[in-house]
């Protein structure tokens, strides 16, 4: 889960985790268990867990192209959640062809946006794209195509499917505030967990239960690292040394916990430090 707009560094928080239950070396007990678990099956379980834990929480899911199917749409509909799914030709080729054909029929449905760095974005959309899934369920979706042209002329294309109402006033917000958040979840979520010293991809145990327990601990570490990275006192320290961000102060995310460890190792803390810190500590989101 991400809690800040995609173009700003912020927090990527996990509300819940669901594992794909195909641990290495496990012998299936019967035929039904031989059927491989997958991300879509895990999504079904995760949705039930989220709904049970947060029954009143209104969610808008930013999903990758794997979830661009009736099965995932039905889960969202059942739980009264909205969704914005990455739209790729290879996932639903017939639907993609229909989308391209309808775009040609509505050339007026276009918006242009120029960013401060002169990057240009062209947004085009189809308001009511019909889709019949493999279970013969009918869906009416909004579809968005965004072409981003860099100052050097490089073109990158993005596309999304959504159940939100897509029109001239909403298309940019849906694309930028929800669709592009997928990149942030990947970059500031999973990528940080893999490459910042947390070592998500390291094989710490061949025992599946131990591996899952490690990931829960890793998520706690990731949360603490984000609080260290984005807290106001740390930012003030960076500015004191003439740096704009905490990351430029230390050079890499993994150096933040390393410096904290060194501080605990070489600086003697008062006996009542923890009690005093707990009384003075206040954690909240900066909404300015």
CA-wise closest residue to 12 among 188, 164, 151, 207: 188
Whether the Cβ atoms of residue 139 and residue 132 lie closer than 8 Å to each other = yes
Q: Which domain holds residue 168?
A: 31-195
Predicted confidence (pLDDT) at residue 139 exceeds the cutoff of 50:
yes
% of the chain residues with pLDDT over 90: 49
CA-wise closest residue to 189 among 226, 214, 230, 216: 226
Q: Is residue 18 part of a domain?
A: no
Q: Is residue 266 part of a domain?
A: yes
Q: Are residues 48 and 183 in the same domain?
A: yes
Structure tokens at 265: 């190792």
Q: Are residues 89 and 122 in the same domain?
A: yes
Predicted confidence (pLDDT) at residue 4 exceeds the cutoff of 50:
yes
Tens-place pLDDT, residues 141-185: 999 999 999 999 999 999 999 999 999 999 999 999 899 888 777
- When divided into structural domains, the chain yields a total of 2
Specify the higher pLDDT residue, 142 or 279.
142
Q: Are residues 49 and 159 in the same domain?
A: yes
Mean pLDDT of the chain: 85
Predicted confidence (pLDDT) at residue 286 exceeds the cutoff of 80:
no
Q: Is residue 89 part of a domain?
A: yes
Tens-place pLDDT, residues 239-266: 999 998 888 888 887 888 788 888 888 8
In order of 38, 69, 137, 143, the CA distances from 78 in angstroms are 20, 15, 14, 21
Q: Are residues 93 and 230 in the same domain?
A: no
pTM: 0.79
């Amino acid at each position: 889960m991400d809690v800040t707009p995609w173009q700003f560094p912020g927090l990527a928080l996990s509300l819940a985790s669901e594992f794909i239950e195909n641990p290495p070396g496990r012998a299936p007990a019967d035929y039904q268990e031989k059927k491989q678990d997958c991300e879509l099956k895990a999504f079904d379980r995760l949705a039930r867990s989220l709904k049970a834990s947060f029954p009143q929480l209104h969610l808008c899911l930013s999903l990758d192209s794997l979830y661009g199917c009736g099965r995932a749409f039905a889960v969202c509909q059942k739980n009264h959640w909205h969704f914005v799914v990455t739209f790729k030709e290879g996932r639903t080729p017939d639907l993609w062809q229909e989308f391209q054909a309808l775009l040609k029929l509505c050339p007026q449905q276009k918006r242009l946006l120029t960013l401060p760095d002169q990057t240009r974005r062209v947004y085009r959309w189809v308001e009511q794209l019909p889709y019949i899934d493999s279970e013969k369920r009918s869906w009416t979706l909004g579809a968005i195509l965004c072409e981003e042209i860099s100052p050097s002329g490089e073109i990158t294309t993005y596309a999304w499917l959504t159940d939100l109402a897509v029109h001239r006033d909403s298309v940019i917000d849906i694309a930028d505030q929800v669709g592009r958040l997928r990149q942030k979840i990947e970059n500031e979520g999973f990528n940080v967990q893999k490459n910042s010293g947390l070592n998500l991809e390291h094989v710490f145990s061949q025992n599946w239960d131990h591996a899952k327990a490690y990931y829960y601990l890793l998520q706690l570490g990731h949360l603490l690292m984000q609080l260290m990275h984005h807290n106001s006192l740390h930012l003030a320290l960076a500015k004191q040394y003439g740096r704009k961000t905490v990351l430029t102060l230390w050079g890499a995310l993994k150096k933040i916990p390393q410096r904290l460890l060194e501080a605990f190792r070489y600086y003697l803390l008062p006996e009542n430090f923890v009690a005093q810190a707990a009384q003075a500590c206040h954690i909240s989101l900066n909404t300015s």
